[in-house]
Amino acid sequence: MKHYKDKECERQQQLIENSGIFNGTKGGGRFMGKEGSDRLFVLIDGESNLYAPIRKDALGYFKENGIGWWGGSKPSGHVLSSQIACLNHLFSLRNDADAVLSILNNIRDEFTEVLPIPVDKNPSFIAFEVVSDEDHLNEGTPNRGSNCTSIDALIYARHKSGELWLIPIEWKYTEHYTNQDKSNEDRDGELEGSNGKGEERMNRYNDLISASSQLKSLNEYAGSLYYYEPFYQLMRQTLWAENMVRNKMTERLRADNYLHVHVIPSENDDLLLKKYKVTQKGMESSWREMIADQSKYVIIDPKTLMTPTVSNYSELHEYLGIRYWAHK
């Protein structure tokens, strides 16, 4: 039985060969130091990986806001990039308050308006690769898109209660993970017992987890679910949102609450249904055991997320249907 990632990789390569959505760009581009026939899932021109109507603006957005691209200084040509998938779905909507509010209320129908996000030089209603102004997670100077906890996409909204909410969005495509314990890595990233990187991570986050009102405190964090992916990411994003609220007076994004959104294709069984080492349960059940307020975390499929925008963004939906949703 083929894994979801393998099936999507084959389908995307067929699109490279037989469709016009990549501007005629061929595969065989450079990835992980290699290029050629074993890299047919990597476009030679990474810009062609972006939905054509957003290419110029997306490049300008990343440049003017000093944001790093995944894996390099340019858009990745890897057709399974979740950063590219996030932009292809959401970037077209970012200046349309009604559209952004519609997808937010499709997640949870509790919001009255979306607000411009002041972290960008030209604020709009969705920001990408967002970091805090101050270092609340012991990670060093926040740098958008690299070397710190960076939010794939963010919406800033007013709740019906009158509170201001952050809606951090973590975007997944074909990701799936091995049982690698990030609390037990050495300084070269290998599991050799010297525990250099793992110790550094625990020094950063363990006390923050213990102080969290959302994350469950543990007697022992080494080897815990918090240090296995995808939970390591979810832990850091939860701490990010919680500490943005806690330190709102020192942040441009002054928020009273948050809703953590996890966008995952419902077909990605390798991520969603895998039995994870620590719990022997699926992804959602495993994570929900670690959080106090279940209402602060939601999983949604990307096509479901985008459903309210179909009438006003028919060309975008046609593109997304071919590029990402053909199996639905």
Q: Answer yes or no: is pLDDT of 2 > 90.
A: no
The domain containing residue 96 runs over which residues? Answer: 81-179+228-322
As a dihedral over the C-alpha atoms of residue 178, residue 181, residue 186, residue 188, rounded to 10 degrees, the angle is 20
Reported residue count of the chain is 328
Flag whether 117 is in a domain. Answer: yes
Residue-wise over 57-79: b if at least 16 C-beta within 10 A, else e? Answer: ebeebbeebebbbebeeebbbbb
Q: Answer yes or no: is pLDDT of 64 > 80.
A: yes
DSSP 53-80: GGHHHHHHHHHHTTPPBTTBSS---BTT
* pTM, 2 dp: 0.95
Q: Answer yes or no: is pLDDT of 325 > 60.
A: yes
Q: What percent of the chain has pLDDT over 90?
A: 82
**pLDDT for 100-155, tens place per residue?**
999 999 999 999 999 999 999 999 999 999 999 999 999 999 988 888 999 999 99
Flag whether 239 is in a domain. Answer: yes
| Out of 31-40, 226-235, 262-271, 275-284, least confident range | 31-40
Q: How confident is the model over 298-305, as a mean pLDDT?
A: 98
Flag whether 27 is in a domain. Answer: no
Flag whether 69 is in a domain. Answer: no
What is the pLDDT, as a whole number, of residue 297? 98
In contact, 90 and 107? CB cutoff 8 Å: no
Q: How confident is the model over 306-311, as a mean pLDDT?
A: 98
In contact, 165 and 257? CB cutoff 8 Å: yes
- Strand-pair partners of 154: 127, 168
Flag whether 155 is in a domain. Answer: yes
* Three-class SS of 110-128: CEEEECCCCCCCCCCCCEE
In contact, 148 and 142? CB cutoff 8 Å: yes
Looking at the structure of the chain, the number of domains it has is 1
Q: Residue 18: count other Cβ atoms within 10 Å of its Cβ.
A: 7
Indicate the pLDDT class of residue 66, thresholds 50, 70 and 90.
Answer: very high
Q: Answer yes or no: is pLDDT of 84 > 90.
A: yes
The mean pLDDT of the chain is: 93
| Out of 32-41, 98-107, 205-214, 310-319, least confident range | 32-41
Distance from the Cα of residue 317 to its chain's centroid: 20
Flag whether 195 is in a domain. Answer: no
| Out of 15-24, 85-94, 147-156, 232-241, least confident range | 15-24
Indicate the pLDDT class of residue 79, thresholds 50, 70 and 90.
Answer: very high
**pLDDT for 173-208, tens place per residue?**
999 998 899 998 875 555 544 558 899 999 999 999
What is the pLDDT, as a whole number, of residue 327? 66
Task: State the DSSP H helix or E strand holding residue 162, giving kind and residue range, or none if neither.
Answer: none
**pLDDT for 229-274, tens place per residue?**
999 999 999 999 999 999 999 999 999 999 999 999 999 999 999 9
Q: Answer yes or no: is pLDDT of 328 > 70.
A: no
What is the pLDDT, as a whole number, of residue 44? 93
Flag whether 32 is in a domain. Answer: no
Flag whether 140 is in a domain. Answer: yes
| More reliable by pLDDT, 29 or 125 | 125
What is the pLDDT, as a whole number, of residue 39? 80
